[in-house]
């Protein structure tokens, strides 16, 4: 399926696009979010997010900020739903 959406690059754009598309089709979007402490002495936290559409986990992402992790998860879900295209694999 080809995408009519231009390449989405701004932080949070995948989240907005996923919300918009699912709202139009009356589908449910939920998020599973968890923080993982990477280094106790540096108080470094990493986030893991999963986009759950109609009860099915369709995308996951991780990052130093929750918004980054959710945007990665939303991008994965958009690709699986055929709304945007994923990276092309090149055979050498």
Q: What six digits make up the tokens of 76? A: 């994965």
pLDDT tens, residue by residue, 13-24: 999 999 999 999
The string of pLDDT tens digits covering residues 29-85 is 999 999 988 776 777 889 999 999 999 999 999 999 999 999 999 999 999 999 998
> What is the domain extent for residue 49?
13-80
Pick from 75, 46, 37: nearest CA to 58: 75
Q: Mind giving me the DSSP string for 11-74?
A: TTHHHHHHHHHHHHTT--EEEEEEEEEEETTTTEEEEEEEEEETTEEEEEEEESSHHHHHHHHH
| 17 occurs within a structural domain | yes
Cα separation, 38 vs 65, whole angstroms? 13
Please report, in angstroms and rounded to a whole number, the separation of the first and last CA atoms in the chain. 24
For the domain that residue 33 is a member of, what is the CATH number? 3.30.160.20
Q: Does residue 88 fall inside a structural domain?
A: no
pLDDT score of 92: 63
Reported pTM: 0.81
So what's the pLDDT on residue 1?
42
């Amino acid at each position: 399926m080809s995408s009519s959406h231009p390449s989405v690059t701004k932080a949070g754009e995948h989240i907005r696009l996923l919300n918009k598309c699912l709202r139009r089709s009356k589908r449910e979007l939920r998020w599973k979010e968890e923080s993982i402490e990477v280094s106790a002495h540096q108080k470094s936290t990493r986030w893991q997010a999963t986009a759950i559409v109609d009860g099915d986990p369709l995308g996951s992402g991780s990052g130093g900020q929750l918004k980054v992790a959710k945007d990665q998860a939303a991008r994965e879900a958009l690709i699986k739903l055929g709304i945007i295209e994923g990276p092309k694999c090149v055979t050498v």
